[in-house]
Amino acid sequence: GQQVMQIPQYQHVQEGEDFTTYCNSSTTLSNIQWYKQRPGGHPVFLIQLVKSGEVKKQKRLTFQFGEAKKNSSLHITATQTTDVGTYFCFSGGYNKLIFGAGTRLAVHP
């Protein structure tokens, strides 16, 4: 069945360093969403990508959707301690709503 693989599982960075998490699917995705979950909190929507090759930016966050619509990435420039949390990719379609396993980001001041 459809799977969305997300890497890395964990990432520890020094404040000010960059961070990237990747999601890859075995099948073409209709769209992909990204969510952030702070420790002890619930997932919060960040963005949705729909078009092939789409790139969207939110301040220090850059989201990309691959040309083949099978992969996506979230890049954070110059991380801050407020970026701490777990980042999930999410895709719906084919009658399943699937989250990637998540990448837990730790930022050391």
Regarding 92 and contact with other proteins (CB under 8 A), the answer is yes
Is 91 exposed, middle or buried (CB count within 10 Å of its CB: 0-12, 13-18, 19+)? buried
Per CB under 8 A, the list member of 10, 16, 38, 44 interacting with other proteins is: 44
Can you name the residues that pair with 21 across neighbouring β-strands?
74
How many CB atoms within 10 Å of residue 10? 10
Per CB under 8 A, the list member of 20, 24, 27, 31 interacting with other proteins is: 31
Scanning residues 54 to 83, which ones bind other proteins (CB under 8 A)? none
| Residue (56 or 93) nearer to other proteins, CB | 93
How many CB atoms within 10 Å of residue 104? 17
CB of 47 to other proteins, least distance (A): 9
Amino acid, res. 75: H
Per CB under 8 A, the list member of 83, 90, 105, 107 interacting with other proteins is: 90
| Residue (14 or 95) nearer to other proteins, CB | 95
- Binding footprint of other proteins on the chain (CB under 8 A): 30-31, 33, 35, 41-45, 48, 88, 90-93, 95-102
